[in-house]
Structure 1
Amino acid sequence: MHIRYSLAPAAVSALFGAPALAASLAVNIEVPRLNVSEYHRPYAATWIERADNSQAATLAVWYDVRTKTNNPEGEGTKWLKDIRQWWRRGGRELSVPVDGVTSATKPAGKHQLSFTEGSGPLPKLAPGAYKLVVEAAREVGGREVVSIPFQWPPASAQQPVVAGKEELGEVKLELKP
């Protein structure tokens, strides 16, 4: 008598040691709708800082990426320095555009960014204390910076939230171990 056993792929990988899943984080950023006579979409940067305020990673930069015939890099690059805190922490060393990091400015509404540790702009982070920082600056408008402290790697799922007052609405960080 011949007996045949079949194992589901998940069972096989459990038997032979599946690779550990990397921790992830998602950022939800709200760009508020402002009732002003001259509205411009904000330039914004999202990054992670170490406890000593040095930059661990730039996750996203939103700016005017339109190209002009006399400026192949896009006229918006000269205004990146208006995102002052990001610029001083490491933005000036970034050569834009960067695939997966830089993109066009965003309209009013909620926007989500998702990252897995070790892929894309989120490097392997050493365990410890960090801050997620989001900064927005708008022509004929204001500038605002918000931050959310967090521990890496996360021990459990977390969703800390902070609210901006003018240039940023709700900013939520979703951490998954």
Structure 2
Amino acid sequence: MRTSTFVLLGGVIAAPATAATVTVTIPRQTVAEYHRPYVAIWLEPVGGGSARTVALWYETKKTGKDAGTKYLADLRAWWRKGGRSMTVPADGVSGATRAPGQYAVKLPDNIKPGAYVLNVEAARETGGRELVTLPLTVPTANARAAGKSELGAITLSAR
């Protein structure tokens, strides 16, 4: 029988203290005219300070008079917390809108230890708007929250 040496390496290779993943669920809506939601995911320090955008999903390919950036202000909380001053598309943050399903977003490894609020906001054309907040302490622990309409389960998993 062959034994594995991976156990010995487990103690040597350690993930950074802030290594975590947020899983965002976009539920399927039963409506006549469905549009994929714009979604913003960002962190805010509890004691105040700048918000840090982790992910921004919007119509990145749309051009012309109704460019996809036109509707970013519909993500009202994110827009007020720093979205309006952000240059989009932002490398490593911006991405296309997502269809209903579960999506994993890796939190940055260089977040300083402390207390934060993780915010996930969704807004949909001819639909609703929803903001889900989740307290977060770095180094991280597992946590859960859930939306009621535009967002489903929001899960934070420490790696």
- 1:93 corresponds, among 85, 99, 114, to 85
Q: Deviations over 1:155-176 (max 9, x none)?
A: xxx3211110000000101124
Partner Cα separation in structure 1 for residue 46 and residue 15 of structure 2: 25
CA contact (8 A) 1:22 1:116 kept: no
What corresponds to 1:39 in structure 2?
Answer: 34
The partner residue of 2:122 within 128, 136, 146 is 136
Unaligned runs of 5+ in 1: 1-7, 119-123
Query: Is the Cα contact below 8 Å between 2:114 and 2:139 reproduced in 1?
Result: yes
Distance 2:14 2:153 in 1: 32
The answer to whether residue 61 in structure 2 is matched with residue 66 in structure 1 is yes
Which of 67, 71, 76 pairs up with 1:75? 67
- 1:121 corresponds in structure 2 to none
State the Cα distance separating 1:115 from its structure 2 match.
Answer: 3.1
- Structure 2: any 5+ residue segments left out of the alignment? none
Aligned pair partner of 1:167 in 132, 143, 150? 150
CA offset digits 1:104-150 (Å, max 9, x no partner): 000001111113412xxxxx32x221111000000000100001102
CA contact (8 A) 1:47 1:55 kept: no
Percent identical: 43
TM-score (norm 1): 0.77
Q: CA deviation at 1:41?
A: 0.3
Alignment correspondent of 2:16: 22
Output the amino acid matched with 1:38: E
* 1:151 and 2:146 correspond: no
RMSD in angstroms over aligned alpha carbons? 2.3
Report if the CA contact (8 A) 2:43-2:119 is conserved: yes
Aligned length: 151
Distance 1:56 1:88, change over 3 A: closer
Pick 1 or 2: higher relative contact order, CA cutoff 8 A, min separation 6. 2
Taking the aligned partners of 1:19 and 1:160, their CA distance within structure 2 comes to 24
Q: Could you tell me how far apart the structure 2 residues matched to 1:45 and 1:114 are?
A: 14
Distance, in Å, in 2 between the alignment partners of 1:159 and 1:91 is: 27
